[in-house]
C-alpha cells in the first residue's frame, strides 16, 4: 500500500472518530460500542458512493452524505429528530463554507499566474484546512456550549439549520459564479477573491455567533425556571413555618383549655378538641419525607393540593443526595412530573370523571436511582417520542414539563421512558455516580 493510501485511511479514521466523539458529547450514544457501528456505517455508505457513483455532483454528494449520516445518527444516538438533523447538516455544511474561504484565493493565484490547471496538492491542502475548521468548531461547541447538550428544542434546531443551509447555499452559489467567469484581470480577480473569502469567513463566524446566542438564551430560560422553582420552595417553607409558629404560639392556651375541660369532667368535649388540634397540626406536618429537605418542601404542598382535589394519592420515595444531583434540578424533575400528573387528573374532573389517582415510587439502588410516577387518564393518550398528545379532535398538546424533565435526564446521562396503556407512566433512571 502506498504512502498516499495509508495517509488517506488514517485521515478517514481520524475524521470519523472526531465526528463520533462530537455527536456522543452533544447527543449521547445509545449503545456501549456505538463507535464500531458508526465507523462501519460511515465506511459503508462512503465506499458505496465511491464505487457506484450514486451522487455525481457536489450538491448531490452533499445531500447523499447528509442523508446517509442522518439515518446512521438516528440509529446510534439519542435526541430528537430535528436535533440530529441539525447536527448532521452542520457537520457537512461547515466544511463546504470553509472551502469557500480558501479556494477563491487559490483560484485567483492560478489566474494571476496565467494557468487554468489546479494542483492536486493545493486542493488537498484546501480540503484539509476546511476539515480542520470543522474540527475546531466542533471542539468549541462541545467544550463551551454545555446547555445545547441537554436543552435543545426542535425550534432551536430548525432556526440554526435554516441559517447554515442558507449560508452554505449562498456562498456556494457565489463561488460558482466566480469560477464560471473567464477573462479576469489579475488585480480584479484577486479583489473579488478576497471579498468572497471574507464573506465565507463571515458566514462561519455567524454560525458560531448564532450558537453562542442560543446558548445564552437557553441559560437565561433555565435560570428563570430555577428561580421560579426556588420561589415555590420558599413559599412552601414559609407556609409551613407560619403554621408551626401559630401552633407553638397557641399550644399553651390549648393546654389550659384542655385542662379546664378535663377538670370540669367534660371528657367528650376534650376529645373533640384534641381531634381538632390533631387535624390542624397535621396540616403543618411533612407527610412526605424523601430524605431531602428540598424535595420535601416541594412535594408536601403538591400532595396537599392533590388530596384537597380528592385525588387518591400514594407516595413512597427516597431521593439522591446533593452530591449526586443538584437540588434545583431534582426539584425541577419532581415538580414537572407531579404537576403533569395533577393536571391530568384535573382534566378528568373537568370532563365529569372521578378525581382519579396518582402513584409515585422512587428507590435507590447500588448504581442508579429509579423514579416512577403513574396517574389515571380519562382519555387515550398517544405517546410520540418524549411528548404526548391527548387523543381528541382539538389535539391538545402537553409537552413543556416533559421537555424540562428530559433536559435534566440528559444532563445526568439517565434514561427517560414514557408508557401509556390504561394509565400514564413516566419512569426515570439516573446513575448515582457523583458529578
Q: Report the DSSP pairing between strands 357-364 and 312-317.
A: parallel
Instruction: Output b/e per residue, 272-296; b: 16+ Cβ within 10 A.
Output: eeeeebeeeeeebeeebebebebbb
Are 369 and 432 in contact by the 8 Å Cβ rule? The answer is yes
**Whether residue 337 sits in one domain with residue 196:** no
Residues 7 and 79 in one domain: yes
- Evaluate whether residue 266 is within a structural domain: no
| Residues 8 and 154 reside in one and the same domain | yes
Residue percentage of the chain with pLDDT more than 90: 6
- What does the pLDDT read at residue 12? 81
Would residue 252 count as lying in a domain?
A: no
Looking at residue 387, what is its pLDDT?
A: 44
What is the percentage of the chain residues whose pLDDT exceeds 70? Answer: 79
What's the confidence (pLDDT) of residue 281?
57
The highest-confidence range among 46-60, 198-212, 271-285, by mean pLDDT, is 198-212
- The answer to the question of residue 335 being in a domain is yes
Contacts of 426 (CB under 8 A, 6+ apart): 337, 340, 372, 373, 374, 402, 405, 416, 417, 418
pLDDT digits (tens, 9 = 90+) for 332-364: 888 889 988 998 898 888 888 888 899 999 988
Residue 183 lies in a domain: yes
- The number of distinct structural domains making up the chain is 2
Of the pLDDT bands very low, low, confident and very high (cuts 50, 70, 90), residue 142 is confident
**Residue 253: inside a domain:** no
Q: Please give the pLDDT value at position 357.
A: 93
**Residue 180 confidence class, pLDDT cut points 50, 70, 90:** confident
137-151, 286-300, 387-401, 407-421 — which is least confidently predicted? Answer: 387-401
Instruction: Give the dihedral sign, CA 329/330/336/337.
Output: positive
Residue 161 reports pLDDT greater than 80? yes
Residue at which a domain ends, from 206, 226, 246 = 226
pLDDT value at residue 388: 44
Written in H, E and C, the secondary structure of 141-200 is HHHHCCHHHCCCCHHHHHHHHHHHHHHHHHHHHHHHHHHHCCCCCHHHHHHHHHHHHHHH
CA distances from 191 to 9, 130, 144, 184, 316 (A): 38, 22, 36, 11, 72
Report yes or no on 283 lying in a domain.
no
* pLDDT (average), residues 386-409: 57
Q: Which carries the bigger pLDDT value, residue 145 or residue 297?
A: 297
**Residue 256 domain-assigned?**
no
Domain co-membership, 27 together with 175:
yes
pLDDT in tens, 300-314: 888 888 888 899 988
When pLDDT is cut at 50, 70 and 90, the band that residue 375 belongs to is very high
Mean pLDDT value across residues 237-250: 65
Q: What is the pTM of this model?
A: 0.57
What is the pLDDT averaged over residues 307-330? Answer: 86
Pairing relationship of beta strands 387-390 and 423-431 according to DSSP bridges? unpaired
Please indicate, yes or no, whether residues 222 and 334 belong to a single structural domain of this protein.
Answer: no
What pLDDT is stored for residue 394 in this prediction?
A: 38
Contact 399, 387 (CB under 8 A): yes
Are residues 323 and 222 part of one domain?
A: no
DSSP string, 29-43: BSSTTHHHHHHHHHH
Burial 210-245 (b: 16+ CB within 10 A, else e): bbeebbeebeeebeebeeebeebbeebbebbeeeee
For position 261, what pLDDT does the model report?
A: 76
Query: How open is the CA angle 182-188-190, to the nearest 5 degrees?
Result: 95
Question: What is the pLDDT at residue 390?
Answer: 43
Please indicate, yes or no, whether residues 40 and 180 belong to a single structural domain of this protein. yes
**Which residue range(s) make up the domain with 367?**
289-435
- Provide CB contacts within 8 A for 391, sequence distance 6+: 379, 380, 381, 382
| pLDDT tens digits along 210-241 | 877 777 777 677 667 666 666 666 666 666 66
Q: Which residue has the higher pLDDT, 185 or 315?
A: 315
Residues 428 and 314 in one domain: yes
Last residue of a domain, one of 201, 226, 251: 226
If asked whether residues 52 and 133 sit together in one domain, one would say yes
314 or 382: which carries more pLDDT confidence? 314
Of the candidates 403, 342, 424, the one whose C-alpha atom is nearest the C-alpha of residue 83 is: 403
Q: Examine residue 267 and state whether it is found in any structural domain, yes or no.
A: no
What's the CATH code of the domain at 365? Answer: 3.30.565.10
Our separate counts of H helices and E strands in the chain read 11, 8
Per-residue pLDDT for 374 more than 90?
yes
Q: Does residue 293 share a domain with residue 222?
A: no
Q: What is the mean pLDDT of residues 381-400?
A: 45
Across the range 237-247, mean pLDDT stands at 65
Give the residue from 184, 203, 226 where a domain finishes: 226
pLDDT of 392 higher than 60: no
**Quick one: 221 and 348 in the same domain?**
no
Handedness of CA 202, 205, 210, 216 (dihedral sign): negative
pLDDT of residue 119 exceeding 70 = no
Structural contact between residues 60 and 34, judged by C-beta atoms closer than 8 angstroms = no
If asked whether residues 354 and 212 sit together in one domain, one would say no
Q: What is d(CA 325, CA 319) in angstroms, rounded to the nearest whole number? A: 9
Amino acid at each position: 500500500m502506498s504512502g498516499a493510501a495509508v495517509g488517506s485511511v488514517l485521515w478517514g479514521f481520524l475524521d470519523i472518530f472526531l465526528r463520533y466523539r462530537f455527536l456522543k458529547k452533544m447527543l449521547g450514544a445509545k449503545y456501549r460500542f456505538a463507535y464500531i457501528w458508526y465507523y462501519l456505517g460511515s465506511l459503508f455508505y462512503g465506499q458505496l458512493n465511491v464505487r457506484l457513483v450514486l451522487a455525481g455532483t457536489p450538491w448531490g454528494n452533499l445531500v447523499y452524505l447528509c442523508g446517509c449520516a442522518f439515518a446512521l445518527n438516528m440509529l446510534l444516538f439519542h435526541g430528537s429528530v430535528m436535533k440530529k438533523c441539525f447536527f448532521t447538516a452542520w457537520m457537512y455544511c461547515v466544511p463546504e463554507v470553509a472551502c469557500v474561504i480558501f479556494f477563491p484565493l487559490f483560484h485567483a493565484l492560478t489566474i494571476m499566474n496565467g494557468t487554468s490547471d489546479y494542483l492536486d496538492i493545493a486542493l488537498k491542502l484546501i480540503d484539509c484546512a476546511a476539515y480542520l475548521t470543522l474540527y475546531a468548531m466542533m471542539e468549541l461547541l462541545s467544550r463551551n456550549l454545555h446547555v445545547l447538550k441537554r436543552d435543545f428544542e426542535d425550534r432551536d434546531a430548525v432556526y440554526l439549520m435554516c441559517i447554515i443551509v442558507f449560508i452554505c447555499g449562498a456562498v456556494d452559489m457565489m463561488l460558482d459564479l466566480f469560477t464560471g467567469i473567464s477573462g479576469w484581470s489579475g488585480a480584479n480577480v484577486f479583489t473579488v477573491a478576497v471579498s468572497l473569502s471574507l464573506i465565507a469567513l463571515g458566514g462561519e463566524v455567524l454560525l458560531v455567533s448564532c450558537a453562542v446566542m442560543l446558548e445564552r438564551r437557553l441559560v437565561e430560560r433555565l435560570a428563570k425556571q430555577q428561580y421560579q422553582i426556588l420561589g415555590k420552595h420558599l413559599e412552601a417553607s414559609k407556609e409551613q413555618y407560619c403554621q408551626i409558629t401559630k401552633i407553638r404560639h397557641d399550644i399553651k392556651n390549648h393546654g389550659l383549655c384542655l385542662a379546664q375541660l378535663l377538670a370540669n369532667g367534660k371528657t367528650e368535649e376534650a376529645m373533640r378538641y384534641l381531634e381538632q388540634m390533631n387535624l390542624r397540626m397535621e396540616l403543618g406536618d411533612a407527610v412526605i419525607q424523601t430524605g431531602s429537605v428540598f424535595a420535601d418542601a416541594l412535594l408536601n404542598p403538591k400532595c396537599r393540593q392533590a388530596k384537597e382535589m380528592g385525588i387518591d394519592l400514594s407516595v413512597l420515595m427516597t431521593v439522591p443526595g446533593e452530591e449526586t444531583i443538584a437540588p434545583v434540578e431534582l426539584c425541577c424533575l419532581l415538580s414537572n412530573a407531579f404537576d403533569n400528573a395533577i393536571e391530568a387528573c384535573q382534566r378528568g374532573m373537568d370532563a365529569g370523571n372521578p378525581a382519579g389517582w396518582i402513584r409515585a415510587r422512587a428507590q435507590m439502588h447500588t448504581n442508579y436511582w429509579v423514579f416512577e410516577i403513574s396517574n389515571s387518564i380519562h382519555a387515550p393518550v398517544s405517546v410520540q417520542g418524549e411528548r404526548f398528545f391527548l387523543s381528541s379532535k382539538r389535539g391538545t398538546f402537553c409537552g413543556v414539563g416533559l421537555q424540562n424533565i428530559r433536559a435534566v435526564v440528559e444532563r445526568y446521562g439517565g434514561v427517560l421512558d414514557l408508557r401509556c396503556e390504561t394509565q400514564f407512566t413516566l419512569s426515570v433512571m439516573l446513575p448515582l455516580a457523583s458529578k
